[in-house]
């Protein structure tokens, strides 16, 4: 049962690489209970007052959760999202215009200002126009979260040229263009932070997420080069690399079916449980709010002198890495 060709073993290994990740709940990690959140907020309140944060893929998931955390800390927010549910050849639905509008309303409900922009990170002009509007409205730009991404699970052989291009143009090209559009404004503010959302799949090979995972290896490399290129401008560039996260990106039939091919109707929780079996601390995923707290780390004082870092939000995956 444990030979290299055994599909269960292969899936377990692949899943472990995606998501040797956490969410044992508040009792273990202490960060998600209502009381813990309110005390966190009390501690960090106004830490980002007067700052402006630009978030790609901000209509939902990790982007929105990060926007919420930054807004709670007092930042004004710009949400940028493609807001186009059906994007060929992606096999799950992306956000809608209604999602983007609801995200903006949620942020405004936190007492900060928020603008939303429907645009595509594959298009540099969209990003430049959105950032110009942000600076016109708020006078500055301080924090950029390069987060908009698309995924694909399946054998390398089955990745069409169109899918290959979409994955690379979004996940790699989009992050590069976000950086290019942001840097002049961050320089104008005397420096700032760029945080790139990568993945635990940027740390290891993976035969289910081979092409997608390779885009995230590219993200880490690009972020380190950006850290070198812009360090003297006081623009700090760091990476957050999560394991499996409960968002529509992972919680969809195409991905879950690849991760548990022997199950007739796999659920996100079933996949998480499968991952938890091989996780060193017995957990199988993280929630977007947990990733957002690591994003926040790279916006604050604690990381004033850190650049080119990759922070694994893998809750144990790093323990199996070679270095």
Looking at the Cβ atoms of 185 and 285, the one nearer to ligand NAD is 285
Burial of 10 (0-12, 13-18, 19+ CB in 10 A): middle
From the CB of 155, what's the least distance to ligand NAD, in Å? 19
From the CB of 82, what's the least distance to ligand NAD, in Å? 4
Among 92, 212, 230, 315, which one carries the catalytic annotation? 212
Respond yes or no: is residue 212 known to be catalytic: yes
From the CB of 250, what's the least distance to ligand NAD, in Å? 4
Summarize as ranges the residues that interact with ligand NAD (CB under 6 A): 56-57, 59-63, 81-82, 94-95, 120-122, 147-151, 170, 174, 197, 199, 242, 244-245, 247-250
From the CB of 37, what's the least distance to ligand NAD, in Å? 19
Which residue in this structure is represented by tokens 């956000």? 95
Looking at the Cβ atoms of 173 and 192, the one nearer to ligand NAD is 173
Active-site annotation, residues: 212
């Amino acid at each position: 049962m444990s030979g290299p060709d055994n599909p269960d073993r292969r899936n377990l290994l692949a899943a472990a690489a995606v998501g040797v990740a956490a969410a044992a709940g508040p009792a273990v990690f202490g960060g998600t209970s209502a009381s813990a959140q309110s005390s966190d907020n009390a501690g960090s309140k106004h830490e980002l007052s007067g700052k402006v944060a630009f978030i790609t893929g901000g209509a939902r998931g990790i982007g929105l959760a990060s926007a919420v955390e930054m807004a709670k800390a007092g930042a004004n927010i710009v949400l940028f999202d493609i807001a186009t549910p059906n994007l060929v050849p992606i096999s799950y639905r992306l956000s809608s215009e209604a999602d983007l509008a609801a995200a903006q309303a949620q942020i405004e409900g936190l007492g900060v200002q928020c603008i939303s922009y429907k645009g595509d990170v594959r298009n540099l002009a969209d990003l430049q126009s959105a950032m110009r509007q942000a600076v016109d409205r708020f006078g500055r730009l301080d924090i950029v979260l390069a987060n908009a991404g698309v995924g694909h699970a399946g054998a390398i052989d089955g990745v069409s040229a169109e899918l290959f291009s979409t994955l690379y143009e979004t996940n790699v090209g989009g992050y590069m263009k976000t950086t290019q559009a942001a840097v002049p404004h961050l320089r104008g503010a005397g420096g700032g932070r760029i945080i790139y959302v990568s993945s635990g799949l940027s740390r290891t090979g993976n035969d289910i997420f081979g092409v997608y995972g390779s885009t995230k290896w590219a993200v880490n490399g690009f972020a380190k080069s950006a850290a070198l290129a812009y360090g003297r401008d006081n623009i700090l560039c760091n990476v957050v690399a999560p394991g499996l996260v409960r968002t529509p990106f992972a919680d969809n039939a195409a991905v879950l079916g690849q991760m548990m091919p022997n199950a007739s109707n796999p659920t996100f929780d079933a996949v998480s449980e499968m991952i938890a079996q091989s996780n060193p601390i017995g957990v199988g995923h993280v929630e977007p709010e947990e990733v957002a707290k690591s994003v926040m780390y790279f916006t604050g004082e604690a990381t004033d002198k850190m650049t080119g870092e990759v922070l694994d939000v893998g809750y144990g995956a790093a323990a199996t890495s070679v270095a």
